[in-house]
Amino acid sequence: MEKERLVLVGNGMAGVRTLEEILDRDPAKYKLTVIGEEAYTNYNRIMLSNVLQNKMTVEEIITHPREWYEEHGIELIHHDPAVDMNTADKTVVTASGRTVPYDLCILATGSRSFILPIEGSNLPGVLGFRTIDDTVAMLEMAKQYKKAAVIGGGLLGLEAAKGLVDQGMDVTVIHLEKWLMEVQLNEPAGNLLKRDLEKQGLKFLMQKKTVRITGDTRVTGLEFSDGTTLEADLVVMAAGIRPETALARKAGLEVERGIVVDDYLATSAPSVYAVGECAQHRSRVYGLVAPLFEQGRVLADALTMGKGAPYQGSTTYTSLKVSGCDLFSAGIIREEEDVQAIEALDGLAGSYKKIFVKDNQVVGIVLYGDTSEENRYLKMLTQKQDISGLTSVSLLSAGGCCGGASADSVVDWADEETVCGCNGVTKGTIVNAIQTKGLTSVAEVTKATKAGGSCGKCKGMIDELLTAVIGKDKVVAKNGICGCTDLSRDEIVLKIHEMGLMTTREVYEKLQFRNPEGCSKCRPAINFYLNVAFPDEHLDEKESRFVNERMHGNIQNDGTFSVIPRMRGGKTTPEQLKKIAEVAAKYDVPLVKITGSQRIGLYGVKKEDLPEMWEELDMDSASAYAKAVRSVKTCVGANFCRFGTQDSMGLGIKLEERYEYIDTPHKFKMGVSACPRSCVETGVKDFGVIGVENGFQIYIGGNGGTEVKEGKLLTTVETEQEVIDICGAMLQYYRKTGIYAERTAPWLERLGFEQVKSVLLDPEQRKTLLEELDRSTEGKRRNPWNEVVRSEAVRNELYTVERV
């Protein structure tokens, strides 16, 4: 039996994704033909701004090379657009005159840039920003010309403008409205965005209407309705897009703004369907990728398995791909009669959030500056969670316990929750693929599930899931420190110093990381390297730290947390013990245990109880979760033990007080034993001290864990001060030369014990390292959790909370 002929008109993201969905369900059902207008096979249009901003190449955004079509037996009619369609004869005619018969036809003709119908709009130097050809033309013109004007302050216009600034052009954005991105943002967020973009070199003319583009043989400038003018060598039209419906209109299909479709994407013509930006469903046309892929899944079901769940419209959300300007917008973001709004503005941090509520449910979200809670709010919105139990303040701030950062890790999500919004891939699908297919890299997960294959924003979460399922040691990061870059640790640190890069954003942009947001591997690493490189200039980026560090507690296997107060040297007081007991009883803590580092740990603590518990304890956090100096384990020493030769507890407390909270590439543990019996297992500590009759033996590079490494004897010294100084010098040398997440044992092996020994025992080098450590950590060596608790009142004053 001959297969039915399925013809796809349009070789873009929505149409090809629909074919992928069909092939996944029934690869042998149809004889497939694709008719494409552009000279390229299918590519990721979302990434055009990255090409313009020199973050990616054209080749890197091609998602389906010619081999993919051949592999699946798809006939590709290339660079030959459809110009006519006869729904009675069931044929499509291309520009070259080729007639293509079909049994079923999918129209996925997409959209085109809206070119203002004004004088001069057809002059050379006037472009849209919609295709690879548009992008390549802009890059070429940027080499010859200096002044660019971008008409339109929406998502596409701002990405184009930033790309042209990166090419060295003088760029002015002309926008008709009062604030930027007025469709996705309200006025306060739009104004913050404008301020931040101005810092990056963009200029703006707001509430300006362009009435004429000047020039004879080529564009020379713009004229506005108020009589003012602007010089320009290049004009980019980014005032919106329009669904491409010419073929459908000509064929007599029902067309309004777009090609009208029903809940199964069927048009008014028999056997003809439409998906993507050209389709109009329930009076709405979508221009974002996630709804287009949702349509593709519904249509694929209908064409392979019969009508399943209908398409009922999509909740859209937007983020901007411009360095240093984090924004997120979703749902209804305009106040209406039955929609209330709660907003908060942090003027110092330059962040803003506004949550729109209707019938005790979140219906809209605007976040700017700090978007760390987007997943929390998006879940509230998409799952229609009842928020009647939340106050205005708790709704705005309950997502995290540290500086407003979200502590909601993807590892804790339910399997049915969506990780990749663009492609509709759930956590359960990703975890199942990792487990059943033996996946070991983000790229493999993307290939197997499509997660991370569009905007790329979820790649960090995919990496977190990989690490949780197979362990970080088995996750493959090709060449570089992670899958985002081929650069090594040393290359990155060198470029940070050479180029004066001060933020993770600058590192990702200037060093052309594949994922402009970074991932869970490189974000904390880059933040650490910046902390060490520019301790005074770089402001520690809490959102780049692991969830344990943001929460100030280790997450347990059931999603609860540990609370471990600091007890320097294992020493405590009756008052501390009483507080711990009272808090443990009040919050019904399931487990109270003496830890291996001589502290009392409270385990099984609920996330929402953490702030109150720490405040009531009024004790420092032990940093038992951090890549930092964690603890100094001691015995009771000569003051009590008949074998002790030195005051081990006193020295341990001095070491802990001197170096606690200092960030290091990995956890850093110390031990001080009062005699060679070494009751605190000094030989497997990163820095171990053994008291002897004439002083102190110092051991370095000992590590416990799955592969035990015995520490090496560095030297014997006479005084406690020498021990403290050598410890500080080692810490700074480890900070300067260590690879993030590298323990001291492999660090020592990589650098060579003799090299490290020569540095630490050289008085001049030791002095220099200690001075560097003091400069790096001055003002930062304090309890971060107490800082958060103390700052709550300040933060509440900075936030203006309003219920409308």
Q: Please report the DSSP string for 730-758 in residue order.
A: HHHHHHHHPPTT--HHHHHHHH-HHHHHH
Q: How many CB atoms lie within 10 A of CB 72?
A: 13
Residue 782 confidence (pLDDT): 47
What's the CATH number where 394 sits?
Answer: 3.30.390.30
Asked if residue 118 belongs to a domain, the reply is no
Provide the percentage of residues in the chain whose pLDDT is more than 90: 46
Pick from 91-100, 287-296, 505-514, 623-632 the range whose average pLDDT is largest.
91-100
**Within this chain, do residues 186 and 49 fall inside the same structural domain, yes or no?**
no
Of 423-432, 436-445, 467-476, 530-539, minimum mean pLDDT range: 467-476
Of 120-124, 174-178, 396-400, 624-628, minimum mean pLDDT range: 396-400
Asked if residue 360 belongs to a domain, the reply is yes
pLDDT tens digit string along 526-547?
999 998 888 878 888 877 776 6
pLDDT tens digit string along 230-260?
999 999 999 989 999 999 999 999 999 999 9
| 5/631: higher pLDDT | 5
Reported as type and span, the H/E element at residue 86 is strand 82-86
Averaged pLDDT, 369-392: 84
365, β-bridge pairs:
330, 355
- Phi and psi torsions of 432, nearest 5°: -65, -40
DSSP string covering 216-265: SSS--EEEETTS-EEE-SEEEE-S-EEE--HHHHHTT--BSSSEEE-TT-
Proportion of the chain in helix, strand, coil states, percent, rounded to 5: 35, 20, 40
- Give the pairing type, strands 4-9 and 104-107: parallel
Residue 323 confidence (pLDDT): 56
| 459/355: higher pLDDT | 355
Asked if residue 218 belongs to a domain, the reply is yes
Asked if residue 492 belongs to a domain, the reply is no
**Within this chain, do residues 724 and 695 fall inside the same structural domain, yes or no?**
yes
Residues making up the chain, counted from first to last: 804
Residue 789 reports pLDDT greater than 50: no
Provide the percentage of residues in the chain whose pLDDT is more than 70: 92
Contacts made by residues 214-218, CB under 8 angstroms, sequence distance 24+: 214/120, 215/120, 215/123, 215/125, 217/123, 217/124, 218/123, 218/124, 218/125
pLDDT tens digit string along 1-41?
689 999 999 999 999 999 999 999 999 999 999 999 999 99
**Within this chain, do residues 717 and 606 fall inside the same structural domain, yes or no?**
no
**SS3 of residue 689 by DSSP:** strand
What's the CATH number where 591 sits?
Answer: 3.90.480.10
Reported as type and span, the H/E element at residue 658 is helix 648-659
Asked if residue 175 belongs to a domain, the reply is yes
pLDDT tens digit string along 568-599?
878 888 988 998 899 889 989 888 888 777 88
**Within this chain, do residues 663 and 754 fall inside the same structural domain, yes or no?**
yes
Averaged pLDDT, 487-494: 84
Asked if residue 465 belongs to a domain, the reply is no
- Give the pairing type, strands 351-358 and 361-368: antiparallel
Pick from 102-111, 184-193, 196-205, 387-396 the range whose average pLDDT is largest.
102-111
C-alpha to C-alpha distance for 270 and 88, rounded to whole angstroms: 9
Residue 105 confidence (pLDDT): 98
Residue 783 confidence (pLDDT): 44
**Within this chain, do residues 599 and 744 fall inside the same structural domain, yes or no?**
no
Residue 784 confidence (pLDDT): 45
The DSSP letter of residue 310 is: P
Residue 181 reports pLDDT greater than 80: yes
Q: Is residue 519 part of an annotated ligand binding site?
A: no
Residue 430 confidence (pLDDT): 94
What's the CATH number where 727 sits?
Answer: 3.30.413.10
**Within this chain, do residues 635 and 778 fall inside the same structural domain, yes or no?**
yes
**Within this chain, do residues 659 and 749 fall inside the same structural domain, yes or no?**
yes
Q: Which residues of 318-342 are buried (b: 16+ CB within 10 A; e: fewer)?
A: bbbbbbebbbbbbbbbeeeeebbbb
Using CB atoms within 10 Å of the CB of residue 644, give its burial: 0 to 12 exposed, 13 to 18 middle, 19+ buried. Answer: buried
Residue 70 confidence (pLDDT): 94
Which among 370, 399, 428 is the end of a domain? Answer: 399
Which among 369, 399, 429 is the end of a domain? Answer: 399
Name the domain count of the chain.
5
C-alpha to C-alpha distance for 542 and 776, rounded to whole angstroms: 17
Residue 781 reports pLDDT greater than 60: no
What's the predicted TM-score (pTM) here? Answer: 0.61
Residue with tokens 């973009």: 197
**SS3 of residue 568 by DSSP:** helix
Residue 426 confidence (pLDDT): 87
Q: How many CB atoms lie within 10 A of CB 775?
A: 11
Residue 557 confidence (pLDDT): 62
Residue 95 confidence (pLDDT): 97
| 370/380: higher pLDDT | 380
pLDDT tens digit string along 301-348?
999 998 889 999 987 777 765 656 778 888 888 778 788 889 888 776
Cβ 310 vs Cβ 264: under 8 Å: yes
Asked if residue 421 belongs to a domain, the reply is no
**Within this chain, do residues 44 and 96 fall inside the same structural domain, yes or no?**
yes
C-alpha to C-alpha distance for 655 and 649, rounded to whole angstroms: 10
What's the CATH number where 80 sits?
Answer: 3.50.50.60
Structural domain containing residue 593: 552-621+785-804
Averaged pLDDT, 708-720: 92
Q: Is residue 635 part of an annotated ligand binding site?
A: yes
Residue 406 confidence (pLDDT): 42
Averaged pLDDT, 635-652: 88
Distance of CA 336 to the CA centre of its chain: 32
Cβ 203 vs Cβ 172: under 8 Å: yes
Residue 403 reports pLDDT greater than 70: no
Residue 321 confidence (pLDDT): 57
Which among 276, 305, 334 is the end of a domain? Answer: 305
C-alpha to C-alpha distance for 113 and 240, rounded to whole angstroms: 6
Residue 596 confidence (pLDDT): 72
Q: Which residues contact 573 (CB under 8 A, 6 or more apart)?
A: none
**Within this chain, do residues 105 and 196 fall inside the same structural domain, yes or no?**
no
**Within this chain, do residues 639 and 710 fall inside the same structural domain, yes or no?**
yes
The radius of gyration of the chain from alpha carbons, rounded to an integer in Å, stands at 30
Cβ 19 vs Cβ 12: under 8 Å: no
Of 108-117, 135-144, 618-627, minimum mean pLDDT range: 618-627
Q: Which residues contact 432 (CB under 8 A, 6 or more apart)?
A: none
Q: How many helices and strands in the chain, by DSSP H and E?
A: 26, 37
Residue 69 confidence (pLDDT): 96
C-alpha to C-alpha distance for 740 and 504, rounded to whole angstroms: 15
**Average pLDDT of the chain to the nearest whole number:** 86
Residue 21 confidence (pLDDT): 93
**Within this chain, do residues 655 and 749 fall inside the same structural domain, yes or no?**
yes
**Within this chain, do residues 282 and 390 fall inside the same structural domain, yes or no?**
no
Asked if residue 797 belongs to a domain, the reply is yes
